Structure 1
Amino acid sequence: MNPTGYREVPEHGAGLVCSWTAALPAGAEPFVQRVVPDGCVDMIWSAGGIHVAGPDTGPMPAAVRPGAEIVAVRFGPGAAPPVLGVPADALRDGRGPLRDLWGGAADALADAVAGAGSLEERRAALVAGVRARAAVAGPVDPLVPVVVAGLAGGSVREVADAVGLGERQLRRRSLAAFGYGPKTLQRVLRFQRALGLARSGVALADVASAAGYADQAHLSNEVKALAGVPVRALL
């Protein structure tokens, strides 16, 4: 078990990629987790209520206090704005109360989560509340999956041409959906692909090639820029 007892549960629908829980025993030392950019937005419940995190452009420290219990859901890139009711660039590099976005509905959801019994029941209550909200929210921008797929192997100009938009229009749509312009989104998604490969045991020279970096030095520089530490510190 890691220091925070972190556990992820895959999710489908409502724009979610997973839900997660974390707990730190009362007698443990305080723990600070380095959160790195992934293009996602998290909605996080703790005893202090529910807050919204991300999308990030650089590393963010997340302190976990002894005795803390946390449950959260994670929206995939581009999926959060319809549910939260604001464009993603309004949330970029931010941490703020859900109440600022949902008003009293955020308090009601926080109370429902707090009133559940176990940590697992609280996780389920948060997921259920988010799914209910997503069911009456507007649709995700249809460009989201096209842009994510296109940037995995093409340039920003190629993606703009493929979707029939100018680069400025694509940037505006990307900022609203992802919180990033397409170039930054491409860097973040490439970084996450590289991190996944490295954590699976692939040699870093091969990671660089497979993830689309010019070479291992390019990989190292990008990881340091986005995560603030060398890639080996993230493994």
Structure 2
Amino acid sequence: MGDAGVIGGLTFAEGRPGAFLRPYVTEFTAYTERYEEPLARRQPPFAGMVVIFGFGEPLGLSGPGGRERLASFTAGLHDTYVDTTTAGVAEGLQVNLTPLGARRLFGMPMGELANRVVPLEDALGPWAGAAVERLAEATGRSARLALLDALLTRRIQAAPAPDPRIVRAWERLSATRGRVPIAALAGELGWSHRHLAARFRDQIGMTPKSVARVLRFEHAVARLRAGRPPADTAAACGYYDQAHMNRDFRAMAGVTPRGLVAPWPECPIAVAG
């Protein structure tokens, strides 16, 4: 087990995915949240997908896919924010997946989940309900994290491996934080721009251009949270200027860069970022 801690009403323990899962799972966390009053948060997008195996009070979710109250759910790759409301006692496990990990776990076109939050059983079928029941019965966070690792490993190992060309394209986009030209990326693979976009929608969830925009945004958020000046961040992340970065933040997070970083410190439990 990795880090553990308490932040306000949140108690959590972070797990370290096993060797097989590391290319597909960026983190997983066992948590309990307990609040006297409902807590509202805005979760900005990030370049991955979230799965929540929940046992307690359902979480209120509001985003482009509509409004839901769900205990166990998945949030597909987003290019905009999701607002959440936690009330009472919420308990469960959160898994952050790379898009390629999500494609193997869900075994469905990722475009069907893009900018949506859906009940976990809608995306994973009966396996989801059985997994939630087993995880809820496990005693303690360490046991739950170990069981989660085993459940995910078995399911992902049984799924087809991703297209190696999409793996290569995803790795190039990630390594450059979205700055590699999409035409150059298609040329490297010997594909047309249209074919690359179609393959990305299937295996990643969005077109390469949309994914690059999320990666650029994620990079900018990380720099701003590290205290880097907005103007320097805009230049380093490939925005035309600071005004361009401000427009992107308003579209993707609903606020300015300063507004995103100041009131919402980074937290291990996040639906879309």
1:54–1:92 CA contact under 8 A, matched in 2: yes
Q: Summarize deviations over 1:88-144 as a string: whole Å, max 9, x none.
A: 111112222232233322221111111012234323322321111111111123233
Kindly state the Cα deviation for residue 78 of structure 1 after the two structures are TM-superposed. 2.9
Specify the code of the residue in structure 2 equivalent to 1:45.
F
Structure-2 residue corresponding to 1:103? 125
Using the size of structure 1 for normalisation, the TM-score is 0.90
Identify unmatched segments of 5+ residues in structure 1.
none
- TM-score, structure 2 length as denominator? 0.78
Residues 39 and 178 in structure 1, CA contact (< 8 A), matched pair in contact too: no
Please state how far the C-alpha of 1:185 moved relative to its aligned partner: 0.6
Matches of 2:234 and 2:168, distance apart in 1: 24
Query: Following the alignment from structure 1 to structure 2, what is the Cα–Cα distance between the partners of residues 175 and 194?
Result: 24
The alpha-carbon deviation at position 214 of structure 1 amounts to 1.4
1:39 matched to 2:65? The reply is: no
1:183 paired with 2:209, answer yes
Matches within 5 A, 1:123-202: 123-151=145-173, 152=176, 153-202=179-228
Local SS of the residue matching 2:133 = helix
**What's the offset of the Cα at 1:164?**
0.8
Q: Which residue of 2 aligns with 1:52?
A: 74
Aligned partner of 2:33 among 17, 21, 24:
24
Q: CA separation of 1:102/1:209 partners in 2, compared to 1, >3 Å: closer, same or farther?
A: same
Supply the distance in 2 between the matched residues of 1:172 and 1:35 (Cα, whole angstroms): 27
Secondary structure in structure 1 of the residue aligned to 2:255? coil
Residue 208, structure 1, aligned to residue 230, structure 2: no
**Structure (1 or 2) with the greater strand fraction:** 2
Aligned CA RMSD, in angstroms, stands at 2.0
Contact 1:72 1:126 in 2 (8 A): no
Letter in 2 for 1:164: G
> In 2, Cα distance between the equivalents of 1:8 and 1:204?
31
Shift of the alpha carbon at 1:38?
A: 1.1
Paired position in structure 1 for 2:67: none
Aligned in 2, Cα 1:2/1:204: closer, same or farther, shift over 3 Å? Answer: farther
Give the deviation of 1:206 after TM superposition: 1.2
